[in-house]
Each structure stands twice: as C-alpha cells, then as structure tokens.
C-alpha cells in the first residue's frame, strides 16, 4: 500500500528518489524547483533570432513551454534531472567512417524511457499519488539547463554539460512531477581559460564561448539536415558520417570518462569492425539488419549514403 505523501518530509522523498535513480543505473540525480528559466529566455531567443537552429524548425515551437515546465506538466513542482553514462569500453577501428559514441549500442530513447517509467512507478508505489511525465529528448525541455541548475554539472564552452568526475559522455533525461522535494544548487564553471573545443571544431560551429551555432555543427549536417550538405563544408568532416564527438574528445575533463555499465549500450561488434569499404558497400537490407535498434535509424539508409557520398565526391 502506498505511503501517504503527507506523512514524510521532503528530505525523505528526495533521498528515496536519488537512491532509486542509483539503483536503476543512473550516473547521478539532481533536483530543481519547477518554474520559469529566467536566465535561459534571452539566450534561447537570441539563438533562434540568429537562426542557429538551421532547419530544426521544431526548436521554434513551444517557446514558452521550453522555458517553463509548469506549462508541460499540470501542477508540477520538481524537475528531477538524471544522467546516464554511455562512454564505451570498445571503439571503432581506425580504418572506418566515424559515428558518435552514443550510437554504438541501442537507441537511448527506449533504454532511458524504460528506466524513467520504472522510477516513476517506484515513486508512486512508495510515496503515493504522484503525477508526472518522463522526458528523453522528445519534448520541449531544456535538459542541459535543468541539469546545470540542479548541480549535475556546468555548461561548457561547447554547450555540453560537463562534470569534473566523468566529463560529458552521458545522456540527460528528466522526470517532471507534482511533488515538493529538496532542491539542489548549481555548481561552478571549471572551463577556465581552456579553448580546446573551440579550436578543434572543424566547421567553427562554436562561434563564441558557450554559444554553438547548431546550423554549422557536423552533427546537424549528418543527422538533422534533410537536404544536400552545402559544398563549402567539403573537407571539414574528418570522416564523420553520423554525429560528431570532436569537441568532447578534446575536452580535458573527458580524460576522466569511465566505461558505462548498461548492457543495452554495449557496442555493436558488427559496427565496430566495419571498415570504410564495408560502409561504402552497405546495402539497405544490411543497414536494416545491423542498425535495427540503433540511433542511426534516425537518418535512415538514404541519409547515411548521402553522407558517405559527400565525403567521397
């Protein structure tokens, strides 16, 4: 029988939720009070006004909801932010076209969604009637802003969430719930004078510290862009055909990345062993078999072929 919410203090509920998050394999859990993200509003407005979203027109939708989770979830009180490590223990061979490390295993949307459902079920079973929604990259939620606000890391100059202990190779997800909890506080910025990510970006997508022009990012060109890749990008992709990890690979904090412990993120051996020749000879039938549960399904076979053709024109 569920415990009445009124019988325990917020601190007890908070401790329970963080313990459950750890049990489910999340790297860390931070909690913020749901409300309007005042500091993010002008940043998002400027980013959109400067058309840094490129053809990602969905970023222009639900502007108010993006900044205020109480418009997404009725009577929401708390944003529970969670990190899930995806740093692999095995990597692609050197003679291959490159895909982002997050795509080595199964599609994270499904993996994380299941964990969030279980977390919400545990909360409801133990605490009582708690309403909420789980978010994994699929709704207008500024996940990096909420994760930073709840002390899980700081926004780096490459706009990724960074932590001193494990770098930045992790997914961010949220539970937004109608339960008052104890709230965490933001941490400090530890980028210092480092400009490694800015200097390394081959397309100059990091236009200034902490500002990334999404329409110039290799990840945007290889995943989000539906048209042909602009010819002026020729020679700048460094063999990336799905996503890009350059700004993370050069970040000094990622020296502390540790391999994940999630079996569903284990690297697909067939993918790791593929050579450039294997990629070029890839048929649609093989693509569907090898990448059946992979994030690469997002670009479809046609997108991967377009990216390969662009590199080999």
Q: Is 181 annotated as a binding residue?
A: no
Contact predicate 32/150, CB 8 Å: yes
Q: Is 165 annotated as a binding residue?
A: no
The residues with which 177 forms a beta bridge, in sequence order, are 78, 132
Give residue 146's Cα distance to chain centre: 12
Q: Is 239 annotated as a binding residue?
A: no
Mark whether 239 is an active-site residue: no
Secondary structure element (H or E) that encloses residue 188, with its range? none
- Both structure tokens of 211: 């500002």
Provide the strand spans (E) within the chain: 28-33, 78-85, 98-99, 132-135, 154-155, 161-162, 170-177, 206-208, 211-212, 240-242
Q: Is 29 annotated as a binding residue?
A: no
Q: Is 217 annotated as a binding residue?
A: yes
Q: Is 161 annotated as a binding residue?
A: yes
Q: Is 158 annotated as a binding residue?
A: yes
Q: Can you tell me the distance from the alpha carbon of 247 to that of 196, in angstroms, rounded to the nearest whole number? A: 8
- In 3D space, the residue among 171, 153, 185, 172 whose CA is nearest the CA of residue 253 turns out to be 153
The catalytically annotated residue of 64, 95, 137, 239 is 137
SS (H, E, C) 51-108: CCCCCCHHHHCCHHHHHCHHHCCCCCCEEEEEEEECCCCCCCCCCCCEECHHHCCCCH
Contact predicate 153/29, CB 8 Å: no
- Contact residues for 306 (Cβ-Cβ < 8 A; gap 6+): 228, 229
- In 3D space, the residue among 139, 126, 26 whose CA is nearest the CA of residue 76 turns out to be 139
Q: Is 255 annotated as a binding residue?
A: no
Which residue ranges make up the annotated binding site for [4Fe-4S] cluster?
191, 194, 197, 201, 217, 244, 247, 251
Which sequence positions are flagged as catalytic?
Answer: 137
Which residue ranges make up the annotated binding site?
66, 137, 158, 161, 172, 191, 194, 197, 201, 217, 219, 226, 244-245, 247, 251
Which residue ranges make up the annotated binding site for tRNA?
226
Which residue ranges make up the annotated binding site for cob(II)alamin?
66, 137, 158, 161, 172, 219, 244-245
């Amino acid at each position: 029988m569920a415990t009445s919410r009124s019988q325990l203090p917020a601190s007890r509920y908070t401790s329970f939720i963080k313990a459950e998050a750890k049990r489910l394999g999340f790297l860390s859990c931070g909690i913020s009070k749901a409300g309007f993200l005042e500091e993010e509003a002008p940043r998002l407005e400027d980013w959109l006004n400067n058309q840094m979203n490129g053809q990602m027109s969905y970023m222009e939708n639900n502007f108010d909801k993006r900044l205020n989770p109480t418009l997404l979830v009725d009577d929401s009180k708390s944003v529970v932010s969670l990190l899930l490590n995806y740093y692999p223990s095995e990597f692609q061979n050197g003679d291959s076209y490159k895909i982002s490390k997050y795509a080595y295993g199964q599609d994270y949307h499904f993996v994380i969604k299941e964990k969030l459902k279980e977390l919400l079920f545990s909360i409801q079973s133990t605490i009582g009637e708690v309403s909420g929604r789980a978010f994994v990259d699929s709704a207008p939620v500024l996940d990096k802003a909420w994760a930073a606000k709840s002390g899980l890391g700081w926004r780096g100059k490459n706009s990724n969430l960074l932590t001193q202990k494990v770098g930045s190779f992790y997914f961010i997800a949220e539970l937004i719930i109608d339960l008052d909890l104890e709230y965490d506080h933001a941490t400090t910025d530890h980028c210092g004078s480092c400009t490694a990510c800015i200097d390394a970006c081959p397309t100059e997508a990091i236009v200034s510290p902490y500002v990334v022009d999404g329409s110039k990012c290799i990840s945007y060109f290889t995943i989000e862009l539906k048209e042909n890749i602009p010819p002026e990008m020729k020679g700048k992709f460094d063999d990336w055909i799905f996503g890009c990890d350059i700004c993370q690979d050069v970040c000094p904090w990622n020296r502390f990345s540790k391999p994940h412990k999630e079996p569903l993120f284990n690297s697909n051996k067939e993918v790791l062993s593929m050579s450039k020749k294997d990629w070029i000879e890839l048929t649609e039938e093989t693509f569907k078999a090898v990448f059946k549960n992979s994030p690469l399904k997002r670009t479809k076979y046609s997108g991967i072929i377009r990216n390969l053709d662009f590199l080999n024109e």
